[in-house]
A and B are shown apart, each in its own frame.
Chain A
């Protein structure tokens, strides 16, 4: 890793992907991905639709397990531990690796109960009021909702809902937060608030964000991975990793021609 990255110490790898391929039944979605996610940095996954960036994201918390016919070849490890080893309980894993989805999806419950849901699942013994307040403060939502914690989460605006979802993910005190196009359903001002929030969150969490918005990737991330799709001999489409480097390099002096074309808006 080059010395001009912002963090002072050489960063530890949280999630290591080694030559991973992902299949849904006979369909190969991703091929030969090797990618190291550094600790407490923001890694952006960019690329055209269908390149498999969301698929890869969902491999990290094993959410793809719910999809019929899903399987992964190669190795994905979390702090050195094979994620797909038989002794790994995906339910436990998802407490360590939280997720924020594309569309804000608060539970049809009060704001308070939305946040308390995760901790209650494991019988959290501490002060719940305190945890709710802390999580809401960390997600920069506290001031807007502190007087209406009993209100339904669905009554909030889209941007507030998404920050509620972030607070909900934080409340279980994860290590990594996966974000699947978290701003694609939001207006520009809400988007900006979430982007500011990401800079705060990376002090404590490792963040991986999938985004269609190249400006967003260049604004918020430390590392960027560019994915592309190619046609296979049989006419199928398979995603692969083209280039992975510091965000600055990807956007200013990429090695690959297709990266250059994509980040300059030539296709995608």
Chain B
């Protein structure tokens, strides 16, 4: 007969296994629910057709929202990645152990805790709205991109700074010892060595941004037609389409919301897989 201590250990092992299994189960449940509800509507039409208004009973797609999501995320990437990586280079290389860099480091952490709806309101205030201190651009992909960029920035800065810091110091010394300036050391040795890990961080930030809804409701709004400008018209996105259609009365729109959820999950999954590949290449 086993002692009580051994039984307790077996019991606790079982409990942790159960918790791990539940975590897996939740993901599987979400995925299968989305596939069951949205899978039937997946066809080429989704990518080529425009969203139907509520009175249309069948058909339609969300080609414009897919493009809108890709556009908005692309703008966010173009804004946050170069900026974020340069900031990370300052934090972990040029400005190491300065007061300014520790202040920026702290504020980056604060920024990552700001709720996305607040970021949305901010972007609405300074870019969208037609009154007061604002760029007065209206609802647009630019406005959405800026909001998402603000959300991505702390993630990019954090992961890039960590990636740079994990490059061993003796490699830096070797470059300096060969007569490299600090700039040459960072841009020719340290940054290339950190690129795989930085890529992972960027992918995670992209996955996070692609699914954001709250800030986009306030910045891109939604539309039923194709997008023909970065600034003028409201820009439909997948996440806002899900928000608008899922709870509406139209059965057709509800089905499209599920299909859009499926595509959104697939996009996030693909980015996660790509980031996995980026890490593997490093080893």
Contact = CB atoms under 8 A, between A and B. Distances in A.
Nearest to B178: A118
Nearest to A101: B170
What is the interface of chain B mostly: helix, strand, loop, or mixed?
helix
A70 interface: no
B255 to A, nearest CB: 50
A99 B181 CA distance: 15
Contacts of B173: 63, 66, 101, 105
Interface string A142-171: 000000000000000000000001001100
Interface stretch (A21-29, A74-82, A87-95, A232-240): A87-95
A134 interface: no
Interface string A59-85: 001010010100000000000000000
Contacts of A117: 175, 178, 180, 188-189
B174 interface: yes
Residues of B in contact with A, size category = 10 to 19
A8 to B, nearest CB: 33
A106 B188 CA distance: 14
Contacts of A121: 178-180, 184, 188
Nearest to A66: B176
Given A107-B189, A117-B188, A121-B184, A101 B178 contact: no
A105 B174 contact: yes
Contacts of B175: 107, 117
B71 to A, nearest CB: 36
Given A117-B175, A117-B188, A103 B170 contact: yes
The 7 A-B residue pairs with the shortest CB-CB distance in the complex, in nearest-first order = A95-B179, A99-B177, A105-B170, A118-B178, A94-B179, A105-B174, A108-B193
Interface of A: 61, 63, 66, 68, 91-95, 98-99, 101, 103, 105-109, 117-118, 121-122, 165, 168-169, 172
Given A105-B174, A106-B174, 16 more contacts: A91-B180, A94-B176, A94-B178, A95-B179, A98-B178, A105-B171, A105-B173, A107-B175, A107-B193, A108-B192, A118-B178, A118-B180, A121-B178, A121-B188, A168-B174, A172-B178
